[in-house]
Amino acid sequence: MRQAVPAPFERGVFSRLEETLRYYHRRGVRWGRVLSEFRPGTARPAPGMRRVLVIRLDAIGDFVLWSGAARALREWLGPDTHVTLAANAAWADLARDADVADEVWPVRRGALETDGRYRASMRARVSGGRFSIAINPRFTREMLFGDSMIRWSRAKERIGMQGESVLLPPRERQWADGWYTTLYPTAHKFMHEAERHVDFLQAMGVPVTNPPRPYLRVPRLPFDSDGLLANKYFVVFVGASLPEHRWPAARFGEVARAIQQRTQWQPVLLGDVADQALTASVAAMLPNALNLAGVTSVPVFASVIQHAKLVLTNDTSAVHLAAATGVHAVCIAGGWHWDRFVPYPASLGEVAERVHAVSMMEEMPCFKCNGYCTLPHRAGEPRPCLERVNVARAMATVDEVLSLPELQTDG
């Protein structure tokens, strides 16, 4: 008699098979799009003012960390250069107020990958921009996004980093590397992104020695219907780009409730539309909580953070927005990118002092795995290094932060 396959095993096998098929399907789609549009371009120098294209299509937090380096690059290029920033549409409005470019082109990442008509229109816009220099400063390159826009630019100088191979498999790298005229060598040691930006700027000839501090000019809250600014409040951000990067929402609720009881500050929950169920579960644990998940634009999101007393968050955009706008953040962090995004290096000065990372680093030698977790864990649940951070450990850091003079409740 044939023995039945246990349900957990069955789900695991089919889940892995489905994930593998999705991976190769995405690879096939990427190659199909790139090959269908391949036409060798020739350099076409722009007349008059030099035109430079800078490409940055990653997430909000990546932009915030890069904002200081972007300002240094803009200043070095000089007033006789017109700088166009091709920016992820998710944060393009922030970039317009950050003095990093003369012109900002919002680019919808999802459409660039899946919508052939949108991709063709963006290709025509970039190739018609008459750029003499195109720069992709991203360390984690992607053939379908930044690398493709470098090729479309047809610029005489096309500059980038060799970068890492997490999102650039060997065959794609072989093609994409050929689209650049200059690829600066990459130091393969673990370093913070801000210090990586310095390496790239120095390779280009920009005279910087320390990481330029991230800085944003955030507009004042355009609304205050709930009297938010009249009271002291703290922000709770429970979302993350992947489910595996989210500390359990119930633990966020416990820590947030303790903060509220000790300070009497109002809890404000932030996130995008996909986070609404999580934020609702945390809000239910907190008296007088204000849940703004999914109802704010990115500039308003940044403005709410800027006026907060404290930010409690996963390792995601909220921690970088807090640091850049002068707010202390307690960040619950796993170890896969430890030292690359949090904690901040001392070379960032007072900005680094605002980021208080909580982790299990000293207990787990597998830290800095770059996301290749080898420990058993369920798909969609926190990775072991994040799941093992308990409430008591988080509260020890919260207590230290709340004892800072600028965060005293009578201040």
User: For position 162, which CATH number holds?
Assistant: 3.40.50.2000
Residue 385 neighbours by CB under 8 Å, 6+ apart: 334, 335, 336, 359, 360, 364, 366, 367
Q: What pLDDT band is residue 10 in, cutting at 50, 70 and 90?
A: very low
Does 1 map to a domain? Answer: no
Looking at residue 372, what is its pLDDT?
A: 81
Residue 1 has pLDDT above 50, yes or no: no
The tens digit of pLDDT for each residue in 361-387 reads 777 888 888 888 888 878 888 999 999
**Lookup: tokens for 111:** 């459409």
**In contact, 153 and 145? CB cutoff 8 Å:** no
154, 170, 204 - which closes a domain: 204
Indicate if 296 and 355 belong to the same structural domain.
Answer: yes
Q: How far apart are the first and last CA of the chain?
A: 74
**Lookup: tokens for 397:** 């850091």
Question: What phi and psi values does residue 230 have, to the nearest 5 degrees?
Answer: -75, -20
Does 367 map to a domain? Answer: yes
Residue 256 has pLDDT above 90, yes or no: yes
Q: Which domain holds residue 395?
A: 228-407
Indicate if 194 and 66 belong to the same structural domain.
Answer: yes
Span 297-314, average pLDDT: 94
Span 333-352, average pLDDT: 92
Indicate if 243 and 392 belong to the same structural domain.
Answer: yes
189, 204, 219 - which closes a domain: 204
Span 191-215, average pLDDT: 94
One DSSP character per residue, 114-164 reads: H-HHHHHHHHHHHHTT--SEEEE--SS--IIIIIHHHHHH--SEEEEE---
Does 2 map to a domain? Answer: no
Higher pLDDT, 333 or 362: 333
Does 209 map to a domain? Answer: no
Residue 36 has pLDDT above 90, yes or no: no
Indicate if 195 and 58 belong to the same structural domain.
Answer: yes
Indicate if 355 and 241 belong to the same structural domain.
Answer: yes
**In contact, 375 and 350? CB cutoff 8 Å:** no
Indicate if 246 and 381 belong to the same structural domain.
Answer: yes
In whole angstroms, what is the distance from residue 26 CA to residue 244 CA? 21
pTM: 0.86
Indicate if 72 and 172 belong to the same structural domain.
Answer: yes
Indicate if 104 and 58 belong to the same structural domain.
Answer: yes
Does 39 map to a domain? Answer: no
Residue 40 has pLDDT above 70, yes or no: no
Looking at residue 335, what is its pLDDT?
A: 87
Indicate if 258 and 176 belong to the same structural domain.
Answer: no
Q: How far is CA 308 from the centre of its chain?
A: 21
Indicate if 188 and 233 belong to the same structural domain.
Answer: no
Does 24 map to a domain? Answer: no
Indicate if 297 and 385 belong to the same structural domain.
Answer: yes
In whole angstroms, what is the distance from residue 310 CA to residue 95 CA? 24
Indicate if 238 and 378 belong to the same structural domain.
Answer: yes
Looking at residue 371, what is its pLDDT?
A: 80
Q: Of 165, 161, 156, nearest to 202 (Cα)?
A: 161
Number of domains in the chain: 2
Does 22 map to a domain? Answer: no
Average model confidence (pLDDT) across the chain: 88
Does 67 map to a domain? Answer: yes
